Amino acid sequence: MHEAKTHLSRLLEQVAAGAEVEITNRGRVVARLVGPARSRPNLGFDRGRIRMADDFDAPLPEDVQAAFEA
């Protein structure tokens, strides 16, 4: 643990590069340094694989609309 305090900057550089660092105290793991969770894919990652009907946002037929409002 003393080494982790002394070399925190170096350990954080390793984590930023993708490593996971375990900090031990007397041979027992007491903490794990990991990078932040990966972000979700950007919008558009499925472009060209999904098709939306031209009338997607057209008003619903009256009977279908009524069923939602019941």
First to last CA, the chain: 64
Tokens representing residue 10 in the block: 């170096």
Strand partners, 29: 24
Tokens representing residue 15 in the block: 């984590």
The domain segmentation of the chain, as residue ranges, is 1-36
This prediction has a pTM of 0.49
**Residue 20: closest CA among 28, 12, 9:** 12
What is the tens place of the pLDDT at every residue in 16-41?
999 999 999 999 999 999 998 877 76
